[in-house]
Amino acid sequence: MTTDQHQHPSHAPRAQIAILDFGSQYSHLIARRLRELHIFCELYSCLVTKEELFGGTTTEDDHPKQIIGIILSGGPNSVYDPKAPHVAEGVWKEIEERKIPLLGICYGMQELAHVFGGKVAPCEKREYGKATVVVTTAPTTTTPDDGTTADGSGDEDVSPLLAGLPNEFDVWMSHGDKLHEVPTGFRAVVLYYRKPAPRTPPTWPLKISTQMWGIQFHPEVTHSPFGKDLLRNFAVNIVGAKQDWIMSDYAQEFMQDVRMKVGEHGHVIGAVSGGVDSTVAAVLMTRAIGHRFHAILVDNGCLRKDEATQVLKRMRDDCGVNLRCVYAQDRFLSQLKGVTDPEVKRKIIGGTFIDIFQEEAKMIEEENGIHCDFLLQGTLYPDVIESVSYKGPSATIKTHHNVGGLPASMKLKLIEPLRELFKDEVRELGIALGIDEVSVWRHPFPGPGLAIRILGEVTPERVAILQEADAIVIEELVNSGHYRKIGQAFVVLLPVKSVGVMGDGRTYENVACVRCVETTDYMTADFYHLPHDILGRMSSRVINEVVGINRLCYDISSKPPATIEWE
């Protein structure tokens, strides 16, 4: 399938804060923190051109762009390295001429200082981890070793960024370089930090005339407790950004504009899985154009227990989505027979899904005498971030046009209502649309389904065993009140058997493992600390109620180094 272009609503100019990404592992967190403040922002590569950043529309859509503030992220490079990335000269010129407020974070601060003539050099000792900052003075010059001030306290200049913050607070450091000399025309705000004894002070450069700020620590991480307050001070008090990024307004705006894109007689087709992303996207599209949206659910035989029936009830009966289900269990499972490699499993399932989707799309068109011109896709903003993030001078920045590898013969235009949203915003949008909480708070489920949670060969018998075990574990999490606290939970069926004793007999059956993780962004995750009594109840129920399992384990791995899914 080829997509002629992304189809997005057209809007009046939308004010935004632009985040220029220098490759930091925390860049996406800056965007998340601003979105939590209901401030619209977008992330761009640090190599973005002046035309891309200030001209035309927002990233890959039709929203007229209005950049009101800029944040430079951290990054792993050293600004003085010949191969280090730098903001384009044209972008700097535009920032200066428009007097756009700017905040540099870690590498971003060093980039700010480096470009304007300051001296950045290695620290005597690298600083990684927790530090305590003590606000002292705001001099015009400073010597790097003792923080000697030249004149004036300059407190009135410091207050906008530090408004409401205590004089002493904890932060998170992650750097090997520091600012040794403040650029001409900048004022230094010196803050001592200690671990626990006073150390060489980091320096915040501040250019009053254009409101350029730089900080050495990372306010976007949760390890900096007052970081969100500092970002609010910058975005709201200094930039003047409005806190009007509200999901109920977003829904109404999308529905009005998608009607204009699709027209009075246009039709949209899309695949749904019952997960929160596809549910919210499908309901949103249904509210916009009614039964001219045609949803397809494919039961590949590797769904959770009673999943197809439950999805049909929730989406078709309760939400009014024009949904048809294709029962293709035998077709998928027959092709998976004897296959153990996880990548081969994914390719088989993906290829078979494409074939079925194409067949059903053709059938829908023939049965209704229509032609579908548009494809609904549940792209989220993390996918877009992956497309535009800086990955180094030798890396290719891919364009995110992932439409599931559908055939080139299907010429459709994409509609992506969720492409500007994070997962938590999708849930907020679902609540605003009146979707039931069970659907909104469902944990993510992989496209290949249980096929990649069955290590080894996938057979109907092994699928049935895992479905039962998985259903018990999820039920226990819901009943104990832990389900909503967990980012993702599931059971893995291992290609291992163990000896057991049940009653007076010996058993030799399968081993299963429970996986529960805490995460907000799914890029990093920690195992969830379930109380032992709940683990014990899960184990007892699974072993007693599921024929074929006689041992249950609990996965205590974090991501990284492990991944959330096992395959």
The answer to the question of whether 158 is labelled as a binding residue is: no
- Of the listed 46, 106, 325, 372, which one is catalytic? 106
Q: If you write DSSP's letter for every residue of 204-264 in order, what string do you get?
A: EEEEGGGTEEEESS-TTSTTSTTHHHHHHIIIIIIS-------HHHHHHHHHHHHHHHH-S
Residue pair 291/318 in contact (Cβ under 8 Å)? The answer is no
Say whether 106 is catalytic.
Answer: yes
Q: ∠206-210-214 over CA atoms, to 5°?
A: 30
148 marked as binding residue: no
CB 297 within 8 A of CB 316: no
Q: How far apart are CA 494 and CA 507, in angstroms?
A: 16
Q: Is residue 279 part of an annotated ligand binding site? A: yes
- Write out the two tokens for 551: 């041992």
Nearest in space to 414 (alpha carbons), one of 374, 467, 462: 374
State yes or no: 500 annotated in a binding site. no
Q: Which residue from 173, 178, 176 is spatially nearest to 218, judged by alpha carbons?
A: 173
- Do residues 75 and 46 make contact, with C-beta atoms less than 8 angstroms apart? yes
Of 42, 111, 181, 220, which is the active-site residue? 220
- The residue among 100, 88, 190 whose CA lies nearest residue 147 is 190
Asked whether residue 434 is marked as a ligand-binding residue, the answer is no
> Do 64 and 57 contact (CB within 8 A), yes or no?
yes
Active-site residue among 218, 302, 307, 428? 218
2 with 370: CB under 8 angstroms? no
Three-state SS string over 24-58 comes to CCCHHHHHHHHHHCCCCEEEEECCCCHHHHHCCEC
305-312 own/partner pairs: CB under 8 Å, 24+ apart: 305/467, 305/468, 305/470, 305/471, 307/274, 310/274, 311/272, 311/273, 311/274
Of 148, 71, 68, 138, the C-alpha closest to 106 is 71
DSSP-derived 3-state class of residue 529:
coil
Q: What angle do CA 187, 189, 194 make, to 5 degrees?
A: 150
Q: Give dist(CA 347, CA 538) in Å, integer.
A: 33
How far is it, in rounded angstroms, from Cα 78 to Cα 82?
9
Q: How far is it, in rounded angstroms, from Cα 538 to Cα 552?
A: 8
274 annotated ligand-binding residue: yes
* 273 is annotated as contributing to ligand binding: yes
Pairing between β-strand 526-527 and β-strand 505-518 as defined by DSSP bridges: antiparallel
Compute the distance between CA of residue 123 and CA of residue 201 in angstroms, rounded to an integer.
Answer: 11
Buried b (16+ CB within 10 A) or exposed e, 172-208: bbbbebbbbbbbeebbbbbbbbeeeeebbbbbbbbbe
- The whole-angstrom distance between residue 554's C-alpha and the CA centroid of its chain comes to 26
Beta bridge partners of 491: 514
Told to judge if 294 belongs to the known catalytic residues of this protein, a careful annotator would answer no
Known binding site: residues?
A: 273-279
Known binding site for ATP: residues?
A: 273-279
Residues forming the active site: 106, 218, 220
